[in-house]
């Protein structure tokens, strides 16, 4: 019937979920902002006083990847770690992300800020391992888990439209309240259903009048 065709047309117009990947991204602190690291943690060698970040999220690529959240000040993070000869201090911000980006059945731990004190030639991976074990890597040396999170998976493809957005408090609250997963909302479907029901009722009443 005509009203069913309208319903199908409206549902077809709902944007499809975009594909993304669930993974740990790696960041350098440049002044007061984060920049996507040009090297992986296994080859990058930070200097004493550097701040680096790790963020777990779902995103399509590095251009829209979510940044670590919250304060990222070296002096604040490493205040209680005195300098030592022959060693360097690296401030690390480890952001486990939002519940909406977590694998099924898991919940992200609280954010960590730690001061890694390591040998002068240590890599970022060495610094991370000194404060956030256990780490997990895949066969291609891709960082899969920090402090054991997530328990499984590594850069797997997922569907959803949450990746890459700067997360706001409102979005976090929506997640806690069971917010939308990017598909048609309950309100939208209910509204469409109401239109279909009213349209059907009007159709049958018109037929009865003609009869």
52 with 137, same domain: the answer is yes
Q: Are the beta carbons of 167 and 69 closer than 8 angstroms?
A: yes
145 with 199, same domain: the answer is no
105 with 198, same domain: the answer is no
Q: What is the chain's length?
A: 211
**pTM tops 0.75:** no
Nearest to 44 by CA among 115, 123, 142, 127: 123
CA atoms within 13 A on the CB side of 102: 19
Q: Are the beta carbons of 108 and 151 closer than 8 angstroms?
A: no
1-20: b or e for each residue (b if 16 or more CB lie within 10 Å)?
Answer: eeeeeebeebeeeeeeebeb
152 with 198, same domain: the answer is no
- Looking at the structure of the chain, the number of domains it has is 2
106 with 192, same domain: the answer is no
170 with 191, same domain: the answer is no
99 with 195, same domain: the answer is no
Q: Are the beta carbons of 182 and 162 closer than 8 angstroms?
A: yes
**Residue 33: pLDDT over 50:** yes
**Residue 2: pLDDT over 60:** no
Q: What pLDDT band is residue 63 in, cutting at 50, 70 and 90?
A: confident
Largest CA distance in the chain: 98
191 with 165, same domain: the answer is no
Backbone angles phi, psi at 143, to 5 degrees: -70, 120
Q: 137-143: list long-range contacts, CB under 8 Å, 24+ apart.
A: 141/40, 141/42, 142/23, 143/24, 143/26, 143/40, 143/41, 143/54
Nearest to 172 by CA among 76, 122, 102, 106: 102
Q: Are the beta carbons of 129 and 42 closer than 8 angstroms?
A: no
Q: Are the beta carbons of 8 and 210 closer than 8 angstroms?
A: no
Q: What is the pLDDT of residues 67-96, one digit of tens each?
A: 999 999 999 999 999 999 999 999 999 999
106 with 154, same domain: the answer is yes
Q: Are the beta carbons of 144 and 153 closer than 8 angstroms?
A: yes
Stretch 147-156: mean pLDDT, rounded? Answer: 96
User: By residue range, what is the domain housing residue 200?
Assistant: 2-14+183-210
26 with 71, same domain: the answer is yes
Q: What is the pLDDT of residues 124-143, one digit of tens each?
A: 999 999 999 999 999 999 99
β-strand pairing of 51-59 with 19-30: antiparallel
132 with 155, same domain: the answer is yes
102 with 193, same domain: the answer is no
């Amino acid at each position: 019937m005509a009203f069913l065709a309208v319903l199908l047309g409206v549902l077809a117009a709902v944007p499809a979920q975009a594909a993304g990947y669930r993974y740990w991204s790696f960041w350098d602190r440049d002044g007061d902002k984060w920049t996507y690291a040009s090297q992986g943690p296994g080859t990058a060698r930070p200097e004493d006083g550097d701040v680096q970040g790790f963020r777990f999220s779902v995103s399509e690529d590095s251009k829209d990847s979510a940044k670590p959240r919250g304060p990222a000040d070296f002096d604040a993070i490493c205040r209680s770690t005195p300098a030592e000869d022959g060693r360097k201090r690296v401030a690390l911000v480890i952001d486990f992300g939002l519940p909406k980006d977590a694998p099924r059945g898991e919940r992200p731990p609280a954010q960590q800020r730690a001061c890694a004190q390591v040998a002068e030639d240590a890599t970022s991976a060495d610094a991370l391992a000194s404060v956030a074990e256990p780490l997990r890597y895949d066969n291609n040396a891709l960082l899969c888990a920090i402090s054991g999170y997530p328990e499984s998976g590594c850069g797997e493809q997922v569907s959803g439209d949450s990746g890459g957005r700067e997360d706001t408090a409102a979005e976090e609250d929506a997640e806690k309240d069971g917010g939308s997963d990017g598909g048609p909302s309950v309100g939208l479907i209910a509204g469409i259903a109401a239109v279909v029901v009213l349209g059907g009722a009007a159709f049958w009443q018109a037929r009865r009048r003609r009869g």
